[in-house]
Amino acid sequence: MIVLDRLPRFCAALPVAMAVTAGFAFSSVNVTLSATVIEIGGIGWETLDQDLMESTFGGVLNDGTNTFVNIPWPGQLGAIGDSVNLASDALYAELLATPGPKIGVGLSGSTMAINDVMRRLAVAYAADPTSVPSPDEVSFMVAGDAERGIFPALVPFFGQTIPGYNYTVKPIPVTPYDITVVKGEYDGAGDWPDRPWNLLAVANAFAASGAFEGFGSVHFDAIFADYTKVPAKYITTAVNSAGGVTTTYVIPTDDLPILRPLITQGVPQSTVDTLTELLKPIVDSAYSRNDWRPTSGPPQGARVPRTAVRSGPAESQSQAVGTAAVKVSAVKAKAGRAAARGATAR
């Protein structure tokens, strides 16, 4: 089973082909398709083992049929540009060499390699659609993407090349390839405030980034969260000019990371709760997604991955949603393992 936001269209004819080949007809059949999940880790955990790859995104990608492949990369913070280039080359080659449906996954620092590969594929596909996997065959996922977070906010101050990183920030790729973006609410890397003059929100974002001891890591936790459980209001979907679909899932953070050290310092929970109630609206006002807007209809909710369920003509949409929920719940136990692996991965 491939868990993405759009089923590769080339697979749409597979159930029919199977029926014809086998000499039987069917009207309502669920067909699961296996994919190759190609994952690249973050800085500090540049090589991923099987258990770690299966645990990302709450284990949603691990249904017993998908194959996991890790691409190790240098992940050198001071030379992240060179590391991204190496990871991009390796992922690009792997995508070309691997048959069938594929999912390219970038976590934290390696998300820039995913963005680079999407640009490269788009150029090659436009020049010769037969030279690379089509948008029907490969999709992408990123978690904690700074190029969709803090990096663009730094460009006005430092220019396109971020000092200390040796990385040149590029525009978000506009390609026909689909991508799922997962980010933790308030994460300083992947969920930078839209209004950075809100200094409380900026401080809270830095606290959530995992870069400072005692504040936890919203950034890291989101990598192992089950994004399919995100409430509808935290999900947005956009189609770019090239036809690619970007579905963004914000993993909710109920508390304010900036207040977390108070607990360890003995401040009563009731006091922390009061401070949270007072400060959270101020922090939330720094993110435009929290702005009031008129209701345009019922919330869409999490999109049912087309690769999770293949429905025959007699199966209703509600039946398809129910089937997807059962398949997701079957691997829900993986999510509990994510937190335990956090310390070792870092």
Name all domains of the chain by residue range, CATH numbers in brackets.
9-292+308-345 (3.40.50)
- The Cβ of residue 129 has, within 10 Å, a number of other Cβ atoms equal to 12
pLDDT at 166: 81
Residue 224: phi, psi to the nearest 5? -110, 10
Continuous segment of H or E residues that includes residue 204? helix 199-208
Q: Are 102 and 38 in contact (CB under 8 A)?
A: yes
Would you list the DSSP string of 18-30? HHHHHT---SS--
Closest CA to 139 of 6, 273, 309: 6
Integer Cα distance of 162 and 282 in angstroms: 29
pLDDT of 316 reads: 33
Q: How many CA atoms lie within 13 A of 84 on its CB side?
A: 26
pLDDT tens by residue, the chain, 346 residues: 334 444 333 333 333 333 333 333 322 223 346 899 999 999 888 999 999 999 999 999 998 889 999 999 998 877 888 899 999 999 999 999 999 999 999 999 999 999 999 999 999 999 999 999 999 999 999 999 999 999 999 898 888 888 877 888 999 999 999 999 999 999 999 999 999 999 999 999 999 999 999 999 999 999 999 999 999 999 999 999 999 999 999 999 999 999 999 999 999 999 999 999 999 999 999 999 999 877 655 444 444 333 332 223 333 333 333 333 333 333 223 333 333 333 333 3
pLDDT of residue 163: 80
pLDDT value at residue 315: 32
What is the enclosing helix (H) or strand (E) of 193? none
**Rg over CA atoms, the chain:** 21
- The enclosing H or E element of 39 equals strand 36-40
Residue 70: the pLDDT is 96
Q: Which residues make Cβ contacts (< 8 Å) with residue 301, sequence separation at least 6?
A: 232, 235
Residue 173 falls in which region: left (phi positive, over 0), alpha (psi -120 to 50) or beta: beta
- Give Cα 279 distance to the centre of its chain: 28
SS3 string, 123-140, reads HHHHHCCCCCCCCCCEEE
Name 164's Cβ contacts closer than 8 Å, sequence gap at least 6. 77, 78
